[in-house]
Structure 1
Amino acid sequence: MTSVSHPLTVWAADAPAVITPSVHLGTGVLLTIAAAGIALLLVLIIRFKIQAFIALLFVSIVVAVAARIPLADVFTVVSNGVGATLGKVAILIALGALLGRLIEFSGGVQSLANHVTEKFGRTRVAIALTVVGFLVAIPVFFEVGIIVLVPIVYAFAKIAGVNPIKFGLPMAGIMLSIHVVVPPHPGVVAGAGILGADIGLIAMIGLAICVPLGFLSYAVAGLMNRREYALAPAVKAQLDELGHFDTHASSSGRGTAGPPRPALIVFLIAAPIVQILIGTAGTLILGKDSPLYGLASFVGNPFFALLVAVTLAFFLLAVRRGWSMKDTGDILEGGLPPIASILMVVAGGGVFGEVLRVSGIGAALSGTLDSLGLPIVVMGFVISLALRAAQGSATVAIVTTAGLLTAAVQGGAYTPVQVAVIVVAIGFGALGLSHVTDAGFWVVVRYYGLTVSDGLKTWTVLTTVLGFAGFALTYGVWVLVGGLGT
């Protein structure tokens, strides 16, 4: 039985020290430790309801000890995992949350929804809200976007005399699709950080694939909505209490100005994406010896692009609309606490990935995958889908899968485009099989008035169809970029 070790160089005060397991374990033992660690992680999260960060940290330490990493070095590995991961993703997630917060509180989401609906006409409300969901989902977290758009879904449902799921299901489907594969959402950003993928390339690939998924979400939801679903009494009461639908109302605006114009919201959503894509295209076209290469890299840096977008939103949504500095500060401050738990989960995933790498488990898994002959992009999707189904969190599924595949990606001589495709495939694995273990499942069931049974028949099926379809398109990209057979 072969022995595997994957040392990590840690820079101490005077000289680098190499951390290696104190005993070289065989591949079979290492993979058994990994499987037991993941099983323990799932039991802690699902059975005992342990918070994901605590569970990830605890399991990481257990796996490190079991893999014979020297006890004196275990917490050095933990610190390195936290620093390496959060150093790449914390600013992105925070800036993305602040941008979404400003758009949400300005009434911009409602304004955009109303405008798109008017353009499409009331007979095409489901199409209009699917388009709105696509745009809103880029800067706004999935659960927040669903909750913010619920009043609009309710209002049109009341006018049409139908269940809110008729309008809300296709919209929610494309929103979750974007959430798992398009930066600056935390799972895909964390996966990119762990695997060293280019955020701009991921955005290009993810958005391109999500466009046809939007059509698919509408079509599949339309088939499901041919039957009627029992409406929860609480939601029915809310619909009955609704008054007329004021297309210019905003419950979250500040100052004396009305809701911002839809074109402004589209501009703020598109600005960072366009900036990142321009910079990424520039770095791909220009050689590294070009004097403009550094400028393209700087302009397209996701940190800078999101900082520019938040600055623009501050002036265009807050200053120009008469918000006081105190109100603006309170709004921005309120956008940060909700992401604390997300950052901790991302940090925990980084620790787990680092332990797998240092212990040699990642290298052992890489060798085993090579022997199976399955492309790494397929393994990324399958592992992420299994983890998503088992423990619910898309973010945990993505960061755990990325950690497991780190050694395989680093040792595979993949191009930047191929690494980006691998991350997108992992993201689509985390899209499928959303059910009772997923907080997003309960948001959809609760706000659209479904029973758990009907939620499984609609939302779970839709997310699974979209996940597999997204992966099929991703695999097509993998073949186009020369990934066939690797």
Structure 2
Amino acid sequence: MNTAILLGIAAGGIALLLVLIIRFKVQAFVALLLVSLLVALAAGIPLTTIPATEDTPERLGVIQTIVAGMGGTLGTVAILVALGAMLGRLIEVSGGAASLAGRFTTLLGPKRVSAALTAAALVLAIPVFFDVGFIILVPIIYGFCKVAGVNPVKFGLPVAGIMLAVHVAVPPHPGIVGGSALLGTDLGWVTIIGLGVAVPLGFLAHFVSKLLNRREFTMLPATAVQFAQFGTDSTDNTGGADSSTGGGSSAGSTRTGTLTKTEAPPTAGTILTLILVPLVLIMSGTLAATLLPAGDPLRPLFAFIGAPIFALLVALLLAFYLLTVRRGWSLAHTGDVLEAALPPAAIVILVTGAGGAFAKVLTESGIGTALSDALTATGLPILVLAFLISLVLRVSQGSATVAILSTAGLIAENVAASDYSVIQVALITLSVAFGALGLSHVNDSGFWVVTRYLGLSVADGLRTWTVLTTVLGVAGFLIVSLLWLVVGLGAA
């Protein structure tokens, strides 16, 4: 099949995916599987597997290709996302978020509450999904805003911005983990660079939000009532705004008030330890592989302890002791908390796996090779292409995870066929991630979570949240591009 037809099939498949998700509201997992099936058939993948002969290699059938793609992706992603979700759930239910925010506020002072909350949000966002983490912090945002006498958008906007930036760019979040699996990226380097880029983005989120907040925003009536009642006996102090317009599956179950009245929350130091331990382990493995010579007896040891799965398992076991055993939780209660983390994570895992199936279809059909050749012919750098494709898919269908997975599948052949270093592949992956950060608008569930909890109208949400996510996405891409130039000069 010639290149033009293959590219036409790819374009048609992406268009159909967008129509199914946007127009017909088909769940992303089902939409990805259906499009994978149709693209495979259109591209000539055989109905059943054709065994290898002396002259031709084995050709997987349609179903076998989808199963292989999903299984290959889920091998790593399922474990990481599940462990990360359980760790985040323990931190959430124990009240650790409030301790972390309070500690940062104490360190930075009452005049820097917005900066303190943004810094705390950056750290909390590492193990906790975006919508869950933001809703956990809503009561804290409301509390500080009531004391300061300001609109919740003043403190909430930068908090939401940096949490979404971490969500798209730092493991163990599903988009970046799944994209890394498809591109063969080293998760250690993605973690190191992703965190490094997130820090300046945190400062940028704070200052851009200050500029956006120079005007006063009229709070939505429902949010105004909720905000006015916050802290009184008529509210549960959870900031439980109605997020049925797109708040995500975990919003309704997120509560910081699950502690008993006599149970003190864990200290900020405990929560920081739980977050930093897996990061340090992962980074040690990556740095050891870079700095230690081949054959060094310590390299296998650091490779083992630096594996993300091992690092997160250590953190979860540590959380089990520090947050449950040491604080007197029963095993039954602990089991219920951990089990509650899995249903939302399962949905994310399945979508990620379906993205892997779509990527496998693109590769087996020859579409990946055709697209790789076409992209190379444009003359645009791979970094720019990765960012632009991801941004277009993000603005088209709303899901950052789907945008990252689809883009990674489209460019995987190009990346695999080129002689990029480990760090360069990590930078390409992050370019995809920051493309998926920008232009959050009405087709994104995160848009509704943020605007409804902060009391923003759709128009004001577009003026603030959409602008902020776009600025952060472009800034993240520019930082990654600068690092790409530095790496290139170092290799020259």
What's the TM-score once normalised by structure 1's chain length? 0.92
State yes or no: 1:150 paired with 2:126: no
User: Hey, what does 2:53 align to over in structure 1?
Assistant: none
**d(CA) in 1 for partners of 2:174 and 2:156?**
23
**d(CA) in 1 for partners of 2:197 and 2:378?**
28
SS of residue paired to 1:482: helix
Residues 210-258 of structure 1: CA deviation (Å, up to 9, x unaligned): 111111111110001010001011221122212389x9x9623369530
Aligned residue among 458, 477, 481 for 1:475 = 481
User: Hey, what does 2:250 align to over in structure 1?
Assistant: none
Q: Which residue identity lines up with residue 272 of structure 1 in the other structure?
A: P
**d(CA) in 2 for partners of 1:326 and 1:300?**
31
Aligned residue among 126, 137, 141 for 2:125 = 137
Structure 1 position 294, deviation (Å): 0.7
Structure 1 position 140, deviation (Å): 0.5
User: Hey, what does 1:334 align to over in structure 2?
Assistant: 340
**d(CA) in 1 for partners of 2:387 and 2:188?**
21
**d(CA) in 2 for partners of 1:85 and 1:405?**
16
User: Hey, what does 2:214 align to over in structure 1?
Assistant: 226
Aligned residue among 313, 324, 329 for 1:318 = 324
User: Hey, what does 1:31 align to over in structure 2?
Assistant: 7
Identity %: 56
Residues 386-425 of structure 1: CA deviation (Å, up to 9, x unaligned): 0000000000000000000111011012111111111110
Q: Which residue identity lines up with residue 136 of structure 1 in the other structure?
A: L
State yes or no: 1:412 paired with 2:388: no
Q: Which residue identity lines up with residue 279 of structure 2 in the other structure?
A: I
Pairing of 1:78-477 with structure 2 (within 5 A): 78-243=66-231, 251-253=257-259, 256-477=262-483
Residue 152 of structure 2 contacts residue 454 of structure 2 at CA under 8 Å; is this kept in 1? yes
Aligned residue among 55, 62, 65 for 1:77 = 65
Residue 130 of structure 1 contacts residue 174 of structure 1 at CA under 8 Å; is this kept in 2? yes
Residue 439 of structure 2 contacts residue 470 of structure 2 at CA under 8 Å; is this kept in 1? yes
Residue 64 of structure 1 contacts residue 74 of structure 1 at CA under 8 Å; is this kept in 2? yes
Unaligned stretches of 5+ in structure 2?
A: 49-60, 238-254
Q: Which residue identity lines up with residue 37 of structure 2 in the other structure?
A: I
SS of residue paired to 1:49: coil
User: Hey, what does 1:49 align to over in structure 2?
Assistant: 25
Q: Which residue identity lines up with residue 327 of structure 1 in the other structure?
A: H
Q: Which residue identity lines up with residue 408 of structure 2 in the other structure?
A: A
**d(CA) in 2 for partners of 1:176 and 1:406?**
24
**d(CA) in 1 for partners of 2:293 and 2:90?**
38
**d(CA) in 2 for partners of 1:29 and 1:202?**
35
Structure 1 position 484, deviation (Å): 11
**d(CA) in 2 for partners of 1:295 and 1:234?**
55
Structure 1 position 162, deviation (Å): 1.3
Aligned residue among 30, 34, 37 for 1:58 = 34
Residue 366 of structure 1 contacts residue 407 of structure 1 at CA under 8 Å; is this kept in 2? yes
Structure 1 position 341, deviation (Å): 1.1
Q: Which residue identity lines up with residue 101 of structure 1 in the other structure?
A: R
**d(CA) in 2 for partners of 1:383 and 1:418?**
18
Residue 46 of structure 1 contacts residue 391 of structure 1 at CA under 8 Å; is this kept in 2? yes
Residue 29 of structure 2 contacts residue 354 of structure 2 at CA under 8 Å; is this kept in 1? yes
Structure 1 position 339, deviation (Å): 1.0
SS of residue paired to 2:353: helix
Provide closer, same or farther for how the CA distance between residues 453 and 484 of structure 1 changes in structure 2, counting only shifts above 3 A: farther
Structure 1 position 86, deviation (Å): 0.2
Q: Which residue identity lines up with residue 300 of structure 1 in the other structure?
A: G
Residues 160-203 of structure 1: CA deviation (Å, up to 9, x unaligned): 22110000001111111110000000000000111110100000
Q: Which residue identity lines up with residue 133 of structure 1 in the other structure?
A: A
Q: Which residue identity lines up with residue 158 of structure 1 in the other structure?
A: K
Q: Which residue identity lines up with residue 322 of structure 1 in the other structure?
A: G
Residue 418 of structure 1 contacts residue 483 of structure 1 at CA under 8 Å; is this kept in 2? no
Structure 1 position 485, deviation (Å): 13
Residues 1-56 of structure 1: CA deviation (Å, up to 9, x unaligned): xxxxxxxxxxxxxxxxxxxxxxxx11111111100100000000000000001100
**d(CA) in 1 for partners of 2:490 and 2:279?**
29
Q: Runs in 1 of length 4+ with deviation above 6 angstroms?
A: 483-486
**d(CA) in 1 for partners of 2:18 and 2:335?**
39
SS of residue paired to 1:444: helix
Residue 435 of structure 1 contacts residue 460 of structure 1 at CA under 8 Å; is this kept in 2? yes
Unaligned stretches of 5+ in structure 1?
A: 1-24
Residue 256 of structure 1 contacts residue 321 of structure 1 at CA under 8 Å; is this kept in 2? no
Residues 112-145 of structure 1: CA deviation (Å, up to 9, x unaligned): 1112112222221111111111111011000001
**d(CA) in 2 for partners of 1:240 and 1:60?**
49
**d(CA) in 2 for partners of 1:71 and 1:172?**
46
Q: Which residue identity lines up with residue 38 of structure 1 in the other structure?
A: I
SS of residue paired to 2:488: coil
**d(CA) in 1 for partners of 2:14 and 2:146?**
46
Provide closer, same or farther for how the CA distance between residues 70 and 268 of structure 1 changes in structure 2, counting only shifts above 3 A: same
Residue 90 of structure 2 contacts residue 323 of structure 2 at CA under 8 Å; is this kept in 1? yes
Q: Which residue identity lines up with residue 278 of structure 2 in the other structure?
A: P
**d(CA) in 1 for partners of 2:377 and 2:342?**
45
What's the TM-score once normalised by structure 2's chain length? 0.91
**d(CA) in 2 for partners of 1:177 and 1:36?**
30
User: Hey, what does 2:43 align to over in structure 1?
Assistant: 67
User: Hey, what does 1:21 align to over in structure 2?
Assistant: none
Q: What is the number of equivalent residue pairs in this alignment?
A: 461
Residues 292-315 of structure 1: CA deviation (Å, up to 9, x unaligned): 111110010000000000000000
